[in-house]
Structure 1
Amino acid sequence: MADWSDLTNDVLEYIARLLSFPDHCRFSAVCRNWRSVSKWRRYPPAPQLPWLVLDEESDTRKRKFYSLSESKHYSIDIPELHGRYICGSSHGWLFAVDIKITGILINPFTRECYELPPFPAFSENTNVTTLIEKVPSDYIEGPRDYTFKEMQTLVVFKAILSHDPKERSDFTAMILFGQKNSPAFWRPGDSSWTLMVNCPTYRMEDVLYFKGNFYVVSSMNVVHVVDFVPEPKLTVVGPEIWEGCVALQKYLVDFNGSMLLIQRFCEEAPENKSNTVDFDVIKPNLEKNCFYYWDDMDDCALFLSRNSSIFVHSNDFSMCKKNSIYFTHLTQSFSADEFGCHDLGIYDMIDEKISPFFSLEVFPPKVGSPVWITPNPW
């Protein structure tokens, strides 16, 4: 019988490039030769289904992940994420905020990490030893005190990257922060975040890096582009889509080189919760200043949360439902009653029905909003 450890590198590379991330980890653990091939790859990785990033285990503080392709969860010890709140995911990296309201950018599968500067309106002199702190008016309306634990979930609504830091060192990070989800950006080497000089008074809903530019969409369905020169500002790029302004959440998505605006509609549920009931998919045409509705995504699936837009071809994954939107609950609330992420599922664009992909009874997330991430260990 042939010795599997003696397979030539070209054969091993061919096998390895067909593997999912969990199988790739198992492949690399077989022997020294296979591990060497898995580390020194000269081929693009196989398409990967996103994982769901959940909360941490209370006793071990390990971070919990849910693998959609295997319908199982993993607990991974990532000390850099202990006690941190996940507020964004992009190119396989996570943005996380700790109890001192400081942020990091980390690849959870390689543990490469960037320390981020203090968020806007927070200085290095903030008294983090005080349990209760007055919140700057830039963040929350109304006179009240908030604990730092509460502030973890309120400072940054979403964060994304322009590029994978492993591929380009000149990447840009963009966040939506504060009461109005105002955009601000940071680049490696910067000592602080840079704000737009003309932030609108209304709330921003989402941010997207698309064809070399950052775009944001407001609660009024107005799409803006970020102009960096001569000074960073927002410029309206039509059309103004007035339909659906009552949607709970709006998303900007890069779908095969086309910009899509996804609108998510909810209805009230018991205990001050809400349940998603419908989605609208709109394609804005920025050049012709018009838009139209989509009802077919070419057998693809979208994954929506606080992550950069992710879509996969369902033909690559037999367990993935085509023409569908996989979504998770979004909240910036710190009420214990609203933690628990009750609202997540799969929206079928053909029959307009919602079905579960994850059993909360078996493995309930308890804190914050689960985030999709595409494993990027290579």
Structure 2
Amino acid sequence: MVNHLIVGRRSSPFSSSSTMVDWSKLPYDLVVSIANQLFEVEDFLSFSTVCRCWRLVYLKKHWIPNHHIPWLMLGEYTEGDVSIRQFLSLTRFKIYKFPLPEANGCRCWGTSHGWIVTLSQSFAIRLVNPLTRACLDLPHHSMLRSQGDIEVDWFAAIQKAVVLKVRDDFVTMVIYRYNRCLSFAKYGDGAWTVVPFSNLVYLVNIVCFKDRVLVLTMVGTLILIEMEGPDGPRARCIASPPGDERGWENMYLVESSESLLLVLHYNHRSTHRFKVYKFDIFKRKWMAAVDLGNNVLLIDNYGCTSVSACGSIKPNCIYFAQDNLGSSVVPQQELKMIVFNIKDNRTDVQRLNASSFYDCPVWTTPALR
């Protein structure tokens, strides 16, 4: 009966009709059990405000959700003098607004670990949790400021930033200098570590697969980054690009159900389509894939995330959040999602019945850490 009262009412789990119940008297193990039946992070936020006893579940981080569905971070605007960031929950088709002055005026990249990576106009790089507003300062990246004798526009200083979990350590990696350089830092490092390459490469994507860091070049070559060793980090090519593929607009690496996938994004006259390849570890070759099972790929301009389908999110599909940079400066637009069915090779446009300011939307997984 308790589970029904709390979990069954998704829009408002704790209504005024429950005020006569002394929820703080429930055994702690039962409270944890109730918390772990909540599906969305916003439900758990409401749950944690019921009473001090229930908030302990949050403080002790005993909430283990069954699904981690990323939110789509949209644009920035101000209410009065407060900087607001907007986040779209795809499972609820609802936009949440959070004050986030810590990311005011910054360029942002989403991650799968609760953080967003921010780059400010002073070239400061930080990890920011949009829910808790916790911040972790990373080393200043002095190498970002110039390309030889040419000063670099701060907005274009980093092409891509990711946070990877490598053997229980969180590592931030950045691709910079127009896709030609790669460096990484752990929290607490005093400087960034540069990864040397023997040949000139143009990097487009980074992923951690089975505790190995892999990067993808613009021509589709797969490179293993060995981060530790007596001679420091080094890069080693392990696979060639798939087949005779040409003409893609973007390429992504992603781990999905313990498989490494390569996703090619094609855009011809605003018609979007995708091809997916699975990496054969033993043959070191890419094999065409048409079935992701119950998985879904969420893609933005910078990265790709794999999650399990749930609710209205369809399995074996790609959800692509297109940028809005072709319009005037951060206009208010109707939000649209490109939905590509991998098996049927069919593209649909899903209108989200909401308008918001956005420019480069990024997927990020909310976490209360």
TM category (shorter chain) comes to 0.7 to 0.9
- After alignment, is 193-202 or 220-229 more displaced? 193-202
Structure-2 change in CA distance of 1:122 and 1:265 (3 Å): closer
The reply to whether residue 172 of structure 1 matches residue 171 of structure 2 is: yes
Which amino acid in 2 is paired with 1:159? A
Contact conserved, 1:56 with 1:64, CA < 8 A, in 2? yes
Contact conserved, 1:239 with 1:284, CA < 8 A, in 2? no
CA distance in structure 1 between the aligned counterparts of 2:249 and 2:336, rounded to whole angstroms: 13
The reply to whether residue 366 of structure 1 matches residue 358 of structure 2 is: yes
CA shift, 1:293, in A, is: 0.4
**Map of 2:5 onto structure 1:** none
The reply to whether residue 198 of structure 1 matches residue 197 of structure 2 is: yes
2:349 corresponds, among 339, 351, 356, to 356
Contact conserved, 1:52 with 1:372, CA < 8 A, in 2? yes
**Map of 2:162 onto structure 1:** 160
Which amino acid in 2 is paired with 1:289? R
CA-atom RMSD, angstroms? Answer: 2.8
Which amino acid in 2 is paired with 1:82? N
CA distance in structure 2 between the aligned counterparts of 1:240 and 1:352, rounded to whole angstroms: 22
Structure-2 change in CA distance of 1:309 and 1:231 (3 Å): same
Which amino acid in 1 is paired with 2:196? V
Contact conserved, 1:157 with 1:181, CA < 8 A, in 2? no
Structure-2 change in CA distance of 1:187 and 1:10 (3 Å): closer
CA shift, 1:101, in A, is: 2.1
2:41 corresponds, among 18, 21, 44, to 21
CA shift, 1:2, in A, is: 5.2
Give the gaps of 5 or more residues in structure 2: 1-19
The CA deviation string for residues 341-362 of structure 1, in whole angstroms up to 9 with x for no partner, is: 9874221112222233454x73
Counterparts in 2 of 1:81-230, with a 5 A limit? 81-119=103-141, 121-122=143-144, 136-137=147-148, 148=153, 151-152=154-155, 154-163=156-165, 168=168, 170-198=169-197, 200-228=199-227, 229=229, 230=231
**Map of 1:239 onto structure 2:** 240
Which amino acid in 1 is paired with 2:59? K
CA distance in structure 1 between the aligned counterparts of 2:158 and 2:271, rounded to whole angstroms: 23
2:297 corresponds, among 278, 298, 302, to 302
CA distance in structure 1 between the aligned counterparts of 2:225 and 2:365, rounded to whole angstroms: 26
Contact conserved, 1:89 with 1:306, CA < 8 A, in 2? no
Q: Name the SS for the 1:12 alignment partner.
A: helix
TM-score (norm 1): 0.81
CA distance in structure 2 between the aligned counterparts of 1:43 and 1:88, rounded to whole angstroms: 22
CA shift, 1:377, in A, is: 0.4
Which amino acid in 2 is paired with 1:263? L
Contact conserved, 1:345 with 1:357, CA < 8 A, in 2? yes
Q: Name the SS for the 1:296 alignment partner.
A: coil
CA shift, 1:110, in A, is: 2.3
Q: How many residues align?
A: 343
Which amino acid in 2 is paired with 1:227? E
Which amino acid in 2 is paired with 1:109? L
CA distance in structure 2 between the aligned counterparts of 1:241 and 1:358, rounded to whole angstroms: 33
